[in-house]
Amino acid sequence: MREKLEKYFSYVFEKELIDEIVQVGIYKKLRENEVLVDLGDKMKGIPLLLEGAIKIVREDKNGDEILLYFLERGDTCASSFASAVSNTKCGIRAIAEKESEIIFLPKEKLDDWMVKYKSWRNFVIESYNIRLNEMMETVDSLAFMRMDERLYKYLTDKAQIMRETSLNTTHQEIAYDMHTSRVVISRLLKQLENESKIKLYRNKIEILEF
Amino acid sequence: MREKLEKYFSYVFEKELIDEIVQVGIYKKLRENEVLVDLGDKMKGIPLLLEGAIKIVREDKNGDEILLYFLERGDTCASSFASAVSNTKCGIRAIAEKESEIIFLPKEKLDDWMVKYKSWRNFVIESYNIRLNEMMETVDSLAFMRMDERLYKYLTDKAQIMRETSLNTTHQEIAYDMHTSRVVISRLLKQLENESKIKLYRNKIEILEF
DNA sequence: TAATTTATGTGATGCAAATCACAAATTAAT
DNA sequence: ATTAATTTGTGATTTGCATCACATAAATTA
């Protein structure tokens, strides 16, 4: 745990803070598709993502979903922070897109560290900023882009987060993430294939152009 | 300035912090439609909103706009905080929807206060949370709602923020905020009027049902 | 190997919203 | 008072996407 923590966070956190994190943090391995945070959860702390990829989705009353953004190593879940500190419910669901490793930080420490460590304050503010910007990008996609553009952005974004050039997924799963229908996705994927931007296989999409 | 600050912030901030704010804060009056923050600005501090209403919009490359959310008294601009602390560009535009009063807090103090005042830490975190949640609502609207529902939500939200039951606006302005065309708005407004939810006048919309 | 399930392909149809085109009504400017 | 600009109303057409219906293909399971 200390090893990976230092690998991704030694340039972010002071040595003393890393020591504290090692002491109180709870290491956890997430298997693919494991739900880390669910709608309405009250968080007892926040996760630091050491390895892997986590998708954050929003759900409406009808159970319809839409992807908000992905987290990758070095990230934390700003929504959890909110929930943990203010003791309010979390409005999102967090699901591991692949096997991931996290350190769970108990909420009791979060405010102490704000006083003690400048690096922690920066990290928290920076995390919020990144997330706000991600949300703006999500709004941009929804407001300004057509479905084909959104789809291409989805594919390239996800490939980057997953650190792979092909994605193991079905058309239906993409449709869920983008809150549209499988038929629409299948047609647009075929179109992207014709433009030589991707190549389609069963349960797999190879991205040719980034 | 102290008077209004205490009116809206005495339950939020410690007395000592209010004293400090009075010392270093710069009071400013904004006239209607004045641009407080523009795209690409690097903020030298953050605004505390004492009175009035401010809309936060996002713009894409083509100059198309979409409303993200409104700020009201007691609020601050989380996006500015980000920009001020990290010295990065602001991705939004903030425009006074009516005459407003703000206190501008210089960025040099922002981090000091995080260490000194628990109430300030809470305020900052709370502000980010509120804004993240607003962004989620914006995404919900765009992803899950039809234009007529979005329009009705827009009207009632704006009326609440403006603290009035009628809005002085044109169909075209609404269309800009919602990133659609005037024709669409005119037709949906007429529809809402037929459902007795609103009453239409020239340059004015009265909301009958909240 | 046959039967079943899962993933993808494709035509047809409907609908919300975008776009075009222009008229009518109201207000502001000369 | 006449002209010009702004605001709103309305028909016609197009387009992107949703939805329905069903076919085909590949992978699982019996």
Within 10 angstroms of residue A160's Cβ, the number of other Cβ atoms is 15
Residue B82 predicted with pLDDT over 90: no
- CA A150/CA A178 separation, integer angstroms: 8
- Scanning every strand, the nucleotide with its C1' closest to A190's CA turns out to be C9
CA–C1' span, B36 to D19, in Å?
46
What's the whole-model pTM score? Answer: 0.96
A64, A86, A140: residue with CB nearest B60: A140
| Partner-chain contact A126 B86, CB within 8 Å | yes
pLDDT digits over A87-121, tens only? 999 999 999 999 999 999 999 999 999 999 999 99
Within 10 angstroms of residue B51's Cβ, the number of other Cβ atoms is 17
Report whether CATH 1.10.580.10 matches the domain B145-207. Answer: no
Asked if B68 and A129 come within 8 Å (Cβ–Cβ), the reply is no
For the segment A66-86, the average pLDDT, to the nearest whole number, is 95
List, as ranges, residues 153-192 from A with C-beta within 8 Å of B.
179
For residue A82, pLDDT beyond 90? no
- Enumerate residues 6+ apart whose C-beta is below 8 A from A166: A159, A204, A205, A206, A207
CA A125/CA B190 separation, integer angstroms: 45
pLDDT band, very low/low/confident/very high, at A182 (cuts 50, 70, 90): very high
What is the C-alpha separation between B3 and B139, in angstroms, rounded? 37
Mind listing the pLDDT tens digit for each residue in B5-55? 999 999 999 999 999 999 999 999 999 999 999 999 999 999 999 999 999
Beta bridge partners of B43: none
Nearest CA among A28, A15, A14, A1 for reference residue A104:
A28
Q: Please tell me the distance from the alpha carbon of residue B119 to that of residue B11, in angstroms, as a whole number.
A: 9
Domain ranges for chain B:
2-141, 145-207
Percent of chain A at pLDDT > 70 equals: 100
CA–CA separation, A200 vs A208, rounded Å? 10
pLDDT in tens, A23-65: 999 999 999 999 999 999 999 999 999 999 999 999 998 889 9
Strand partners, B67: B57
Exposed, middle or buried, A147 (CB in 10 Å: 0-12/13-18/19+)?
A: middle
Q: Which of B2, B91, B10, B80 is nearest to B47 (CA)?
A: B80
* A58:B91 CB<8 A: no
pLDDT for residue B1 = 82
Superfamily of domain covering A2-142: Jelly Rolls (2.60.120.10)
- Asked if the domains B2-141 and B145-207 are classified in one and the same CATH topology, the answer is no
Class of domain B2-141: mainly beta
- Cβ-defined contact of B91 to A133 (cutoff 8 Å): yes
Polymer length in residues for chain B:
210
Work out if A190's Cβ lies within 7 angstroms of strand C: yes
Q: Which residue among A66, A111, A135 sits closest to B135, beta carbon to beta carbon?
A: A135
Decide if B66 touches A, using CB distance below 8 A: yes
